[in-house]
A and B are shown apart, each in its own frame.
Chain A
Amino acid sequence: MLRLEPRTETKTLIQALAPAAAVLITMVVGGLLFAALGKNPFEAIHTIFIAPLFDPYSRTELLIKASPLILIALGLSFGFRAGIWNIGAEGQYVMGGLAGSAVALAFWNVEGAWLLPLMAVAGIAGGAAWAMIPAFLKIRFNANEILVSLMLVYVATLFLSAMVSGPLRDPDGFNFPQSRLFHDSARLPILMEGTRVHVGIIVTMVAVLAAQIFLTRHLFGFNVRLLGQAPRAAAFSGVNAKRLTVICLGLSGAMAGLAGLFEVAGPIGQLQPSLPVGYGFTAIIVAFLGRLSPVGILFAGMVMALTYIGGETAQFALGIPSAAISVFQGLLLFILLAVDLLTRYRVRFVRRGEV
């Protein structure tokens, strides 16, 4: 019979290969799914995973989609390492976008180079403040942060809807529930002529570097890992779990808020009720696929963005329903978690009775 034995040491090669294996297995299972839907599986996989890489426009769009995913996943990864489950990043993303937009709309007739930084500060503050609610309720009342942060996603989405059909609605917009268009100094500068590649992508890259340094070279990163792996040891060594909860949730909220702001001030250019498209949830998959390491998240974000872009193409080229892509993403997380088994345990063959 087969028996699982915990590995005494985890080989880095296996650690790195597991996500890649998971992606490959997902492609195979996804291919079967498309075959079941009556589509040519090879064509579908090619359209989703390979074709976007060879199209110049899709390549730049890849960066635009990956950027919020990476930014949010980076923030989440700290909390996940420490065993603090913020799954309400979608709400923090909305509140960040909302707060930043409110600033942009308050100065809709004033131009200036100071406006974007001010919007960024508002976005970060909005996201962080929204994440402070579960943090505070957790440390003060011991309320479960998973449920609280998730409930707040619904509240944030409804609040956004109330704002764009109320106070922040475009006064000249025929009652349509969206805000005024932002003017140029409230829009993120475009990096490449003719594309939508914006400054936010550079900020994301810097964030990846900063997160890597913090996690591996700073006491904060060590404490985060310690709290997640050995809470009692962490307590003895003087790690303040409450403070770390606040920091981890605040950090992930701030980064989700910034991602929300980048979205409204970048590709969208105004506040719309359709702002939440699930980046906050997909980022959870990105964080795990990237093994909670900043560089891993960078790659994982790209892979996930690929499924978004390729999925859109597959939708009109092959008639594959948009929902198939979210099935794909959910499947990926499942398979990843299953493959993970082999990084933590090894399978030994034992004869019966020898156990």
Chain B
Amino acid sequence: MDLSVVDPVALFVGLVAAATPLLFAAIGELVVEKSGVLNLGVEGMMIVGAICGFATAVKTGSPALGFVAGAAGGCVLSLIFGVMTQYLLSNQVATGLALTLFGLGISALIGQPFTGVKSPTMARLEIPVLSEIPLLGRLFFSYDIVIYLGIALVAAVWWFLKFTRRGLVLRAVGENHDAAHSLGYSVVAIRLAAIAFGGACAGLGGAYLSLARVPQWTEGMTAGAGWIALAIVVFSAWRPWRVLLGAWLFGGVTILQLNLQASGFLSWLQSLGIPAQAQYLSMTPYLITIAVLVVISADGSKARSNAPASLGRTFTGSG
């Protein structure tokens, strides 16, 4: 086994990049859930964002336009969910599942001519002086601009929910939609806005996957990232900064197992007579998700008291 290929600085840099798609999707979903809506269609919105972003970047040659298109794609898809659940009062769980199935299908359909195509790459943001500091420069100032935007978005969501009047109203709608309604707030409009924001975030996360992280288009390339993002929201107990922590945790697991696969760890295990296969390492992000969910949910009183009280309940407007 050759552990020398595992460079801790490279590991951290890789972790931050791997966490970014999850970070976008999860912070968006956090806002949606804070408004009392459970949108299980994150996976579908992410993959639609991935293909919209990729296709646009290839056609226009501009990654920036790609990200805009990714966000727009996710947003449009989420509005289908919004109209269905807010106006047509459909079941949120079933509609979210439909959104994911539909998103996976439509992305494959749009993406067919783009398989195997290369996208324009995004330059790293070179910050004068800062990027050149040894070690620290690589650790903190060697990323593309979208990564910084992701972290800024977490800060913005935290500030919005905690310190602004609109954030308070959004939380009120999520805690008790009947009370918010009788105070004169438009529950449906606020929720639609939150859903659209969540969709745009998931679309951005997907676009980061296809434009920066991989960077190419393959069918079903999100491979459960949207579902992991949903788990991160539970892990965060609906607190923005813990979303960042959760995304980095999962980014770390992903990068660690990829590095272990590359380091010859498996052939070392095999030489000891253990039937190790790469597939077992690939399972780890999913297994860790389950483990994390168990640990968080086991401490029931704490997790539940933080969950928005109206989460997943249909608002009929008649009180």
Query: Given A143, A151, A345, which contacts B227 in the complex, CB threshold below 8 Å?
Result: A151
* Given A323-B112, A327-B109, A328-B105, A150 and B90 contact (CB-CB distance below 8 Å): no
Interface string of B267-300 (1 = CB under 8 A from A): 0000000010101101100110110011001101
A337 touches B84 (CB 8 A): yes
Besides A327-B109, A334-B84, A334-B98, 4 other CB < 8 A contacts?
A: A151-B290, A155-B283, A159-B279, A285-B98
Contact of B103 with A by CB under 8 A: yes
B102 touches A154 (CB 8 A): no
A330 touches B101 (CB 8 A): yes
A327 touches B106 (CB 8 A): yes
B277 touches A165 (CB 8 A): yes
Min CB distance A33 to B, Å, is 9
* Given A154-B223, A330-B102, A345 and B89 contact (CB-CB distance below 8 Å): yes
Min CB distance A259 to B, Å, is 19
Min CB distance B31 to A, Å, is 19
Q: Please list 25 pairs of residues, one from A and one from B, whose beta carbons are closer than 8 Å in the complex, sorted by A's number.
A: A4-B316, A85-B93, A141-B294, A142-B300, A143-B290, A146-B40, A147-B289, A150-B224, A150-B227, A155-B286, A155-B287, A162-B280, A165-B279, A327-B105, A329-B105, A330-B101, A330-B105, A333-B97, A334-B84, A334-B99, A337-B90, A337-B91, A337-B94, A338-B84, A341-B90
Q: A321–B113 Cα gap in the complex (Å)?
A: 11
A340 touches B101 (CB 8 A): no
Among the interface residues A146, A150, A165, A340, which one has the most CB atoms of the partner chain B within 10 A?
Answer: A150
B289 touches A151 (CB 8 A): yes
Contact of A158 with B by CB under 8 A: yes
List, in ascending order, chain B residues with CB within 8 A of A321's CB. Answer: 108-109, 112
Contact of B188 with A by CB under 8 A: no
User: Which residues from 207 to 266 on chain A have a C-beta closer than 8 Å to any C-beta of chain B?
Assistant: none
Q: Interface of B with A (CB < 8 Å)?
A: 40, 80, 84, 88-91, 93-95, 97-99, 101-106, 108-109, 111-112, 219, 223-224, 227-228, 230-231, 234, 275, 277, 279-280, 282-283, 286-287, 289-290, 293-294, 297-298, 300, 303, 316
List, in ascending order, chain B residues with CB within 8 A of A288's CB. Answer: 94
List, in ascending order, chain A residues with CB within 8 A of B230's CB. Answer: 147
User: Which residues from 153 to 186 on chain A have a C-beta closer than 8 Å to any C-beta of chain B?
Assistant: 154-155, 158-159, 161-162, 165-167
Min CB distance A179 to B, Å, is 16
List, in ascending order, chain B residues with CB within 8 A of A141's CB. Answer: 294, 297-298
Contact of A51 with B by CB under 8 A: no
List, in ascending order, chain A residues with CB within 8 A of B109's CB. Answer: 321, 323-324, 327
A281 touches B101 (CB 8 A): yes
B104 touches A326 (CB 8 A): yes
Min CB distance B44 to A, Å, is 8
B88 touches A142 (CB 8 A): no
A333 touches B101 (CB 8 A): yes
Q: A158–B104 Cα gap in the complex (Å)?
A: 20
* Given A323-B108, A323-B219, A341-B88, A148 and B94 contact (CB-CB distance below 8 Å): no
A144 touches B93 (CB 8 A): no
User: Which residues from 1 to 28 on chain A have a C-beta closer than 8 Å to any C-beta of chain B?
Assistant: 4, 6
Q: A327–B98 Cα gap in the complex (Å)?
A: 10
Q: A323–B109 Cα gap in the complex (Å)?
A: 5
Min CB distance B114 to A, Å, is 12
List, in ascending order, chain B residues with CB within 8 A of A142's CB. Answer: 297-298, 300, 303
B98 touches A333 (CB 8 A): yes
Residue of B nearest to A5 (CB): B318
Query: Given B88, B275, B287, B303, which contacts A338 in the complex, CB threshold below 8 Å?
Result: B88
Residue of B nearest to A282 (CB): B101
Contact of A309 with B by CB under 8 A: no
Residue of B nearest to A153 (CB): B224
Contact of A104 with B by CB under 8 A: no
* Given A333-B94, A334-B102, A338-B90, A326 and B290 contact (CB-CB distance below 8 Å): no
Tell me the number of A-to-B contacts counted with CB atoms below 8 Å. Answer: 135
Residue of A nearest to B107 (CB): A323
List, in ascending order, chain A residues with CB within 8 A of B293's CB. Answer: 137, 143-144, 147-148
Among the interface residues B108, B282, B286, which one has the most CB atoms of the partner chain A within 10 A?
Answer: B286
Interface string of A293-332 (1 = CB under 8 A from B): 0000000000000000000000000000111111111110
A146 touches B289 (CB 8 A): no
List, in ascending order, chain B residues with CB within 8 A of A284's CB. Answer: 97, 101
Query: Given B88, B93, B219, B286, which contacts A151 in the complex, CB threshold below 8 Å?
Result: B286
Residue of A nearest to B102 (CB): A330
List, in ascending order, chain B residues with CB within 8 A of A341's CB. Answer: 88-90
B283 touches A161 (CB 8 A): no
List, in ascending order, chain B residues with CB within 8 A of A137's CB. Answer: 290, 293-294
A327 touches B102 (CB 8 A): yes
List, in ascending order, chain B residues with CB within 8 A of A144's CB. Answer: 234, 293, 297
Min CB distance A325 to B, Å, is 8
List, in ascending order, chain B residues with CB within 8 A of A162's CB. Answer: 277, 279-280
Q: A161–B303 Cα gap in the complex (Å)?
A: 36
Contact of A73 with B by CB under 8 A: no
Q: Which 7 A-B pairs have the closest CB atoms?
A: A330-B102, A326-B105, A323-B108, A162-B279, A327-B105, A333-B98, A330-B101
A330 touches B98 (CB 8 A): yes
Contact of A44 with B by CB under 8 A: no
* Given A142-B298, A143-B290, A334 and B95 contact (CB-CB distance below 8 Å): yes
Residue of A nearest to B109 (CB): A323
Q: A158–B123 Cα gap in the complex (Å)?
A: 34
Contact of A95 with B by CB under 8 A: no
Query: Given A154, A322, A329, which contacts B283 in the complex, CB threshold below 8 Å?
Result: A154
List, in ascending order, chain B residues with CB within 8 A of A161's CB. Answer: 279
Q: A341–B90 Cα gap in the complex (Å)?
A: 7
List, in ascending order, chain B residues with CB within 8 A of A155's CB. Answer: 283, 286-287
A337 touches B95 (CB 8 A): yes
Q: A123–B111 Cα gap in the complex (Å)?
A: 36
Contact of A125 with B by CB under 8 A: no
List, in ascending order, chain A residues with CB within 8 A of B316's CB. Answer: 4, 6
Q: A331–B227 Cα gap in the complex (Å)?
A: 21
